[in-house]
Amino acid sequence: MCTFGMLGAVDSIRVRGEGAVRIAVFGVDSLGKSIVQELANATCLPEDLFVEILQQSTLHLFPSMSAERALYLKDHELDVLLLFGQGIPKSTLFSAGINTPSQFDQKNFDDSLMVALNSKTISCVNHMLDKAVSSMIDALNVVKTFQLCISLGCDFSDPQLTLTAVATILQ
């Protein structure tokens, strides 16, 4: 079940699961990269938290994003592009409209995210709003993909709590 891409060991592409829903997951900053690396570890020999997700989805995990990923993404016709990073727990929707699942309610999602992460977090930089992130998403040219950036707090002090929130997001 654990496969690795052709890139270097630190920044390799990891593919997990064999389900029909194809999801790419990127980190946009050091916190996002740590979360994706923990997700890759937790899904290698799946914990109960991820078994159902890996039956229904195929995860393409990238610790960081770059323009070079565009060719890989074009070859894999993704359904969802998720980007994780730091910031007060909140989502930023890049593909509003036709690609947004009808059952997705951003306000309810954000409210649940705040509760799930016990967010008493002080304010920190939210990289999801950086022009570099939106430019990178545009460069990936995944126009038929649901694109969602998710800020998961300001630190990674409780990895299990964060992974539980990530598992909930993936479901």
Q: Are strands 87-93 and 146-153 parallel, antiparallel or unpaired?
A: antiparallel
Annotated domain spans of the chain: 3-170
* pLDDT, tens digit (0-9, with 9 covering 90-100), for 88-117: 888 998 877 788 888 889 999 898 888 888
Burial 63-95 (b: 16+ CB within 10 A, else e): bbbeeebeebbeeeebbbbbbbbbbbbbbbebb
Residues 56-74, mean pLDDT to the nearest whole number: 82
Report pLDDT for 7.
39
Reported pTM: 0.86
Residue 171 has pLDDT above 80, yes or no: no
pLDDT, greater one: 15 or 8: 15
User: pLDDT-based confidence at 119, cuts 50/70/90?
Assistant: low
